[in-house]
Structure 1
Amino acid sequence: MASIHRPKRGSLAFSPRKRAKSHIPRFRAWPEATGEPKLQSFAGYKVGMTHVIMVDDVKNSLTQGMEISVPVTVIETPAIRVAAIRAYAEDSAGEKAVAEVWAADLDPELKRRIPVPAADNMAENLENIGKMIEEGKVSDIKAVTYTLPKSLTGVPKKIPDIMESGISARDLSTKFEYAKSILGTLLSVTDVFKTGTLVDTAAITTGKGTQGPVKRWGIQLMKNKHSRQGSLRQIGTLGPWHPDHVSWRVPQMGQMGYHQRTEFNKRILKIGSDGEEVTPEGGFLNYGLVRGDYVLIKGSVPGPSKRLIRLRDPIRAKKADLGEPNILHISRESKQG
């Protein structure tokens, strides 16, 4: 007898499955502030994957205290520059930017991305934001940062990627003072994250173009007589006559991939500055050599090599801080087969 249990193929959670607007992923929420003031996010470029041999330090694990092989993603993280401070005010329509201050002497490559605002009245604008904070007209302070891919040999571009980052601090005044101290400066990944901590990753996935419903939604192939009539990889019906339109819930062909995806609680296994420690023989496929700062993330990360990856303080941190892992070996075997 046939089973009457048949879950829906695919998921409607990510609909509409269309291409992302930008290759730069967005964070729409930020975790609550803890500890000393700092930026809550950083950015890097995906290099590839390898594996490490480490001591399992997960409590109550079946392999606790034993040597295990763990897949890791290598992300090259050149320094980022803080370009501006942005003040937000909240009203009935939500948060809106009410003031911003841009730093002077920014990198000339930034002009390739946006028309850089003049920094003639920087001191005056900073004073105005300070007054607005005292008057209670500001609800949040955020930082505008950009990457410097010109220092990377594996990423063939010079145009920076601009993004906005939250600031972790006890109150608005502390946020503002910290933002002023880093305005126009370069920050490295060690200024934001530490080895062993958890982060959230966001990236745009690998684009796969137009795909049929079998690959895109995971529907079953037609069987028996239906398959012999030329309808092997199609759905059985587009829906009823009435309502007289095709529902968006019907699994059809269309765009697959190049969507933004956020993954939570990824562990940083290592932060290093010598790329030779992780570069395999012959370099990484479709990337080349790692020459500067890098981060090893446990597990996989969305997107192809060279794709911009954003890292954020964990917004749903449930695991205890495991501390720095004991890495015994990093595989540098050739990835070229």
Structure 2
Amino acid sequence: MSAASRGLIPRVRLLSFGPTTTTVISSSHRFRRFSAQSINVENDYEIDSGSPKIIRAKPVVMTPDSKRTGAIAVKCGMTAVWDKWGARVPITVLWLDENIVSQLKMIEKEGITALQVGCGQKKAKHLTNPEVGHFRAQGVPLKRKLREFPVTEDAILPVGTPITVRHFVPGQYVDVSGITRGKGFQGGMKRWGFAGMPASHGASLSHRSIGSTGQRDAPGKVFKGKKMPGRMGGKQCTVKNVWVYKIDPARNLMWVRGQVPGAEGNFVFIKDAVYKKPDISLLPFPTYFAPQDEDASELEPLVADLGEIDPFMAGD
């Protein structure tokens, strides 16, 4: 059953600007209150009762060596926009479905510094007992998808911190990872772009064949890794330098220009670009903290400044 048939895409179309129902997740030793619009995060989060290190949910200064967490999004499909030069540009819409920090991983305990981010919603009957126990032990709602993002020590966030679309800035570049569309067993021409055999003379029923692969008597074998027919697609793929065109804080939607792997309804993972690094002075670090008096449903979409040179045509 595809993700679209489970109701992810209809939920995007039915997003309303009104408040949503508050859900209370309880455990044997603590209670936390969560909602789709606002999540109460403790100002001081103590990692361990025996450790003096305290994590605070507040903005700090980002350094060139700092590494922020990423986010999980649902690929909603493609649309098109017209820039101020009159060109039609294809755009992919991504939906950050209630991302929150679901677990901390520290050097003292796990040996790494990372944040586990959860996305979406799921019922307890659709999860295994270890998965339900994990969410209840952390005191967070049940999530459909989890992803771990390595971060630096200055980018650690308390459990329960929301990661909204304001985590990214219009105009920056991001890297998007996901599972590509599975195309089944394909031949060499479709899978690798081979030219095939002659289409007119000298080829009988072998027009799409890949040709010889054994190099005659020397060495007389097919080397490992030879490009041949086989299973195509369905693998992890990372598309680098995807440009963020617009974000909509009211609906947690993001418009990006560039290839996004996977089919409509699949989960993709977004993080800051490695090669085209964004300006650290413009990024909210370690993430965007909304003011208490801010109403996300009344915020207007933020569009990237196109400047004097068309960024959509600059790469061409």
TM-score with structure 2 setting the length? 0.57
SS in 1 for 2:228: coil
SS in 1 for 2:195: coil
For residues 174-323 of structure 1, the aligned pairs below 5 Å read: 174-175=154-155, 178-179=156-157, 181=158, 183-190=159-166, 192-223=167-198, 224-228=200-204, 230-240=205-215, 241-273=217-249, 292-317=251-276
Aligned to 1:166: 150
Give the share of equivalent positions with the same residue, in percent: 26
Aligned to 1:44: 73
Compare relative contact order (CA 8 Å, sep 6+) and give the higher one, 1 or 2. Answer: 1
The 10-residue stretch of structure 1 (238-247 or 113-122) with the greater mean CA deviation from structure 2: 113-122
| Structure 1 unaligned residues grouped into runs of 5+ | 1-32, 56-65, 90-95, 123-144, 149-159, 275-291, 328-337
String of CA shifts for 1:171-206, please: whole Å, max 9, x gaps.
x3x34xx42x3x13333221x212222111111111
SS in 2 for 1:269: strand
> What is the CA-CA distance between 1:147 and the residue it aligns to?
8.8
Aligned to 2:30: none
> What is the CA-CA distance between 1:262 and the residue it aligns to?
1.3
Aligned to 1:6: none
| Structure 2 unaligned residues grouped into runs of 5+ | 1-61, 283-302, 307-316
CA contact (8 A) 1:102 1:118 kept: no
SS in 2 for 1:233: coil
- Match for 1:46: what amino acid? K
- C-alpha separation between the residues in 2 aligned to 1:320 and 1:39? 13
> What is the CA-CA distance between 1:100 and the residue it aligns to?
9.4
Aligned residues: 218
Q: Structure 1 residues 100, 294: CA separation in 2 closer, same or farther (over 3 Å shift)?
A: closer
Q: Structure 1 residues 101, 38: CA separation in 2 closer, same or farther (over 3 Å shift)?
A: closer
String of CA shifts for 1:237-283, please: whole Å, max 9, x gaps.
12134445422343321011112221222121111145xxxxxxxxx
CA contact (8 A) 1:40 1:312 kept: yes
CA contact (8 A) 2:165 2:248 kept: no
Aligned to 1:281: none
CA contact (8 A) 1:239 1:250 kept: no
SS in 2 for 1:216: helix
String of CA shifts for 1:43-96, please: whole Å, max 9, x gaps.
1111111111223xxxxxxxxxx343321101111111211111248xxxxxx7
Q: Structure 1 residues 109, 38: CA separation in 2 closer, same or farther (over 3 Å shift)?
A: farther
Q: Structure 1 residues 214, 313: CA separation in 2 closer, same or farther (over 3 Å shift)?
A: same
Whether 2:93 is the aligned partner of 1:71: answer no
For residues 12-161 of structure 1, the aligned pairs below 5 Å read: 34=63, 39-55=68-84, 66-88=85-107, 97=111, 109=123, 112-113=126-127, 115-116=130-131, 117=133, 148=143, 160-161=144-145
